[in-house]
Amino acid sequence: MSRLALIALAFAAAIFSPAALAQDSSSEDDCENPAYDEVCESQTGINSPTGTTRSGMKYVDRSGVRVGVLYAHGLDEVSDHSPVLSVLGGEYSRTFGDDGPMRFLLVGNVVVVGLDQGIFLPNLNTLAGIELQNNIQFGVGANLSPVDVSGRHRYAQLVAAVGKTTQVGQFSVPVHLTVVPSSHFTRVAVTSGVNF
């Protein structure tokens, strides 16, 4: 577990360093007269679908493809596969709230793990959390998978994620660290992709 903790700390230090936070922070003053149907780029990103719920709360949708790598601690002890696996899938997220420094976040994604080794391990993740400064996300939720390669019949587990989304031209690029903790089969993934 010490290697996993070091990976998580290095990732968090790179993303949440004071220089990175200062560079990406923005305020409402960055937008002259921000009408919500034309939300400024510094707040939500270009081409992010926006709207208002029935109760009048503003929201921003982001969706796109996700690719990455997953380290499954202990996989090599229960199977012939390497513990380093590919991740491929799609994600949908929605943030709720006004144009302030913090918004409520809901995320759902479906990914397939292990295609690089000829195995098919589907996973569904649902998370709730917060988004800070319009680009830093924290979330906790459930990880569901119909396959448990550890043989312990654990098909639902806790999942936690932290990451950052950066605007790149007309797209936004998320980078997330995800952890599914377990006493026997902890999984750590780093994913990125493109939001359309």
Identify the weakest region by mean pLDDT among 9-13, 25-29, 144-148.
25-29
Domain 2-195 sits in CATH 2.40.160.20:
yes
> What letter represents residue 15's amino acid?
I
Strand partners, 63: 92
Rounded distance between C-alpha atoms, residue 100 and residue 136, angstroms: 13
Domain boundaries defined on the chain:
2-195
Break the chain down into helix, strand, coil percent, rounded to 5.
20, 50, 30
Query: Per-residue pLDDT tens for 12-22?
Result: 555 545 444 44
Query: In the numeric block, which tokens belong to residue 99?
Result: 């144009």
Please state the pTM of the whole predicted model. Answer: 0.75
7 — phi, psi (to 5°)?
-60, -45
Rounded distance between C-alpha atoms, residue 156 and residue 173, angstroms: 28
Rounded distance between C-alpha atoms, residue 154 and residue 157, angstroms: 7
Query: Per-residue pLDDT tens for 27-62?
Result: 444 444 444 344 444 444 435 678 888 888 899 899
